[in-house]
Structure 1
Amino acid sequence: MPSTSDRRSLLSLVPVVPVVVLDDLDHAVPVARALVTGGLPVIELTLRTPVALEAIAAIAADVPEILVGAGTVTSPALVGRAVEAGAQFLVSPGTTPTLLREMAGSGVPFLPGTATVCEAMAVLEAGVTEMKFFPAEASGGAAYLRSLASPLPAARFCPTGGITAATAPSYLALTNVGCVGGSWLTPSDALAARDWERVTALAAEAALIRSSTGL
């Protein structure tokens, strides 16, 4: 299992963190195993569906070789519920002072969400240098993040939202980006068809994206 001894390692584990929405609990373990087989032993399972917390628990119990995290953490109450279910890291789409304090006290790595300079500065002011940039494409994309590197040199980002296999390299080439979040690795039609080989193939392609940047 990948180590998460600090937040910096969370951004350095894989070039693409699979961002997964599951509606069927029976898909949890197979999709996690497919991602591991493809070379991406990390999964961010979003808390957008009724089965999300159960899915985290199932993956944590049955696929110990993957690092399972909870995404779309939108309230302080969800922090404790996610960690109790087995989440090993937390990701929020945005950040409030209360949510940031709760995540900081959770005992697991976390990526608070930011979309503006002011939000990134507030997270930095709280002593957190690793954060999510969301929604990436709608908020200015790679060009926007490039413009933040000079005024906010301490900030490092995991941009998520609208990123594809074609656009990921432009983000990964930036000095202030450690990884990207991608939902294209687990398309809904592949999940519905239980096409785990397709998920594995998409994961294998994503695992090699960083090398195409020349970094």
Structure 2
Amino acid sequence: MKIHNSIKLKGMLLACLVTACSNPVQRPSLGKAKSANAGGSDNPHSGTTTVPPKSVDTQALKQVAEQILAAQNNSCSATATGAAPEPILRLLTKVEYNNSIASVLNLKTNYAADFPVEQRILGFKNNATTNLVSDSHMDAYLNVAKVISKEFVATNFQSVVGCALTAGETCVNTLINGVGAKLWRRPIEKAESTRMLALYNTYA
């Protein structure tokens, strides 16, 4: 019974590890935007000659303003705001991966040493548009996940998860919603928990 549970829990942990990811931090826009017609200086007192404004047709301007206001939707209802955009997922860097395994599973080995080389963009290695999962990435992640799950089950499982391998599905649910949530950095949804529990039962 203990051997069977060990095998099933390895498969369960593998599912959690392979799909671990994080949401990227939105980068702020830096710098002061300049008008395309600006003279090249942001200083309003640069000493240039001021050209007096020409006379304008105030009635025409009023009509344009009324048309703009009439076309705007000033509704503050919840339905008018629309759905939130989908979050952009990115790969963990090698350092982030190792730190996550050390923090969650208490395994302190450089597991990411053989991962594919990370692409640098302007000195950063966490660009979501360039660091994508290729076939070589997937092979490396699967191989490392197997090593990690085997080592974790053999050494730190009970101390980290808080239950014994012989507890069956009860312990697996604790693994999914406890360790899994930490690896995914968010709560595990019910549908996800059901799918992972089905994966566990497949290896029974």
TM over 0.5: no
TM-score with structure 1 length normalisation?
Answer: 0.22
Q: Which has the higher contact order (CA 8 A, sep 6+)?
A: 2
1 or 2, which has the higher helix percentage?
Answer: 2
TM-score with structure 2 length normalisation?
Answer: 0.23
